Amino acid sequence: MSLLARMAWRNLWRNPQRSLLSLAAIAFGVTLLVFSVGLQIGGYEQMIGNTVRLLTGLAQVQRPGYLDAPRLRLDIPAARDLRARLEAGLRELAPGVVVAPRAQSFVLLSSERRSLGALLVGVDPRAEARLSSLPGTVHRGRYLRTGEEVVLGAALARNLGLAPGDEVTVLGSARDGSVVATVLTVVGVFESGARELDRSLAQMPLATFQDLFAMPDRVHALVLGEAPLDALPELVRRTRALLPPDPPLAVLTWEHIEPGVKQAIEMDFASGWLMYLILVLVITFSILNTFLMAVLERRREFGVLLALGFRHGRLLRLVLWEAALLTALGVLLGMALGAALVAYFAVHGITFEGMEVYAEQFNLPPYLTPKLTPFVLFSGPAVVLAVTLLAALYPASRVRAVDPAETTREVG
């Protein structure tokens, strides 16, 4: 350690109460930043996870243009072989990966009470049970198995006046232009928590859907799920490499399918960092006041040092060393405490009164879990360190105004 660094370290503890208070302020602010950012990032991952687990999946294979203008003929042929190829090719990246086939059409559902338009989706019940949280939200009846049965959203079932065991008439148009007219048995009613889904979505077994809508071995989407979120870029790359050249197929991530979720996260992230910057400024001004008072109180000491041959530049570096050591020590202590808090709650989770009941109702995790990443650990502390050191330049620059002759007369 250099002479200036050793002098700076000793100077810090000449007034231990002030140094400890400043150290505690920096450490508390950094701890709060690390924990808050970790909770924010963890919350985003849970939000994304809940979204993709409900219906969209991490990514989907579709025909180009189908997302914007879903038409029955924009389908994927030879879906069974392509699904098997994708599952085999992606298993090395994510051993538990699920590829769920879906086909869908807008239909008219009729009961004795009324008729309503709805989105009817044909699904593989076993794959959906692994991929989607929707089967877990069935609160009346059961989920799909096989045959001519259907599950309805809670609002849709209520508007139609239907309950498990009732029959509903389906009217629609098949892929070959023929009319689809059949009767399905309602076996379950789900309540996902998403109003639009509960008001307009119905699901039935895929095999029955394909028979009714003249779509043998054809689907509209292959939904990818049950893979780590951070593996999504590689998952998309490998999926594209496994797709046949004809017909052309697109791989859409959850960000393309649910852009509103991404925009909500970006807006919340920006507003969150605005609050963090305000916290950093509060910490900075408190430390700035401490450094400024320390410099003003030591004018006589600085005058004597200058009279003994110290140069203003060297004295300036001494004060900056003091600021750097105190700030770095506070930042390191805050990082350690913040990381410990994040690690603890990442295991045990954070819950609130009533949260478990709400989460159980909509098949969601009953707690929030922060996440510790390099960004979480270093972003906030780096900002605190940089801003605090910049703020320390002002009190340090006051050293240049010290006149050794004037301060020597003050000593006398």
Identify the band that residue 302 occupies on the pLDDT scale cut at 50, 70 and 90.
Answer: low
d(CA 283, CA 285): 6
pLDDT of residue 123: 96
pLDDT grade, residue 21 (50/70/90)? confident
| pLDDT tens digits, 303-352 | 666 666 666 667 777 778 888 888 899 999 999 999 999 999 888 877 76
What's the pLDDT score for residue 404?
A: 56
The pLDDT value recorded for residue 295 is 72
- In percent, the amount of the chain with pLDDT more than 70 equals 88
Any idea what DSSP says for residue 247?
S
Reduced 3-state DSSP string for 96-136: CCEEEEEEEEEEEEECCCCEEEEEEEEECHHHHHHHCCHHH
Pair (27, 75) in one structural domain = no
So what's the pLDDT on residue 282?
A: 80
Q: Which of 200, 217, 248 is the C-terminal boundary of a domain?
A: 248
- Average of per-residue pLDDT across 370-387: 89
Q: State whether 300 and 201 are in the same domain.
A: no
Q: What's the average model confidence in pLDDT over 255-266? A: 87
Looking at 195, 215, 248, which one is the last position of a domain? Answer: 248
Same domain for 301 and 407, yes or no, is yes
Which residues, 6 or more positions from 375, have their beta carbon under 8 angstroms from its beta carbon? 37, 41
Neighbours of 62 (CB within 10 A): 24
Place 358 in a pLDDT band, splitting at 50, 70 and 90: low
Mean pLDDT on 48-65? 89
Query: Domain containing 378: what range?
Result: 3-52+261-411
- Does residue 234 sit in the same domain as residue 337? no
Q: Confidence band (pLDDT; 50, 70, 90) for 74?
A: very high
Residue 233 domain-assigned (yes or no): yes
The contacts of residue 116 (CB under 8 Å, 6+ apart) are: 108, 109, 156, 159, 160
Q: What does the mean pLDDT of the chain come to? A: 86
Q: Judge residue 340's burial from the number of C-beta atoms within 10 Å of its C-beta, 0-12 exposed, 13-18 middle, 19 or more buried.
A: middle
Please state the pTM of the whole predicted model: 0.77
What pLDDT, on a 0 to 100 scale, did the predictor assign at position 412? 46
Residue 255 lies in a domain: no
Is the residue at 388 inside a domain? yes
Residues 402 and 299 in one domain: yes
The pLDDT tens digits for 208-240 are 999 999 999 999 999 999 888 888 999 999 999
Question: Does a structural domain hold residue 196?
Answer: yes
> Looking at the predicted structure, is the pLDDT value of residue 359 above 60?
no
Is 15 part of a structural domain of the chain? yes
Per-residue pLDDT at 92 exceeds 70: yes
Q: What percentage of the chain carries pLDDT values higher than 90?
A: 46
pLDDT at 155 over 80: yes
The pLDDT, as a whole number, for residue 222 is 97
Residue 179 and residue 92 in one domain: yes
Please tell me whether residues 215 and 270 are part of one structural domain: no
Residue 396 lies in a domain: yes
Same domain, 279 and 147: no
Is there a single domain that holds both residue 171 and residue 42?
no
Ramachandran area for residue 390 (φ above 0: left; ψ -120 to 50: alpha; else beta): alpha
The answer to whether position 256 is within a domain reads no
Domain count, the chain: 2
Q: How confident is the model at residue 408 (pLDDT cuts 50, 70, 90)?
A: low
Final residue before a domain boundary, out of 203, 224, 248: 248
Average pLDDT for 26-43 = 90
79-90 pLDDT, tens digit per residue, is 999 999 999 999
Kindly state whether residue 254 falls inside one of the protein's structural domains: no
Q: Are residues 185 and 330 in the same domain?
A: no
Name every residue whose Cβ is closer than 8 Å to that of residue 164 and which is 6 or more positions away in sequence.
140, 141, 142, 186, 187, 188, 189
Mind listing the pLDDT tens digit for each residue in 98-130?
999 999 999 999 998 899 999 999 999 999 999
In this structure, are 39 and 80 located in the same domain? Answer: no
Task: Tell me: do 360 and 268 sit in the same domain.
Answer: yes
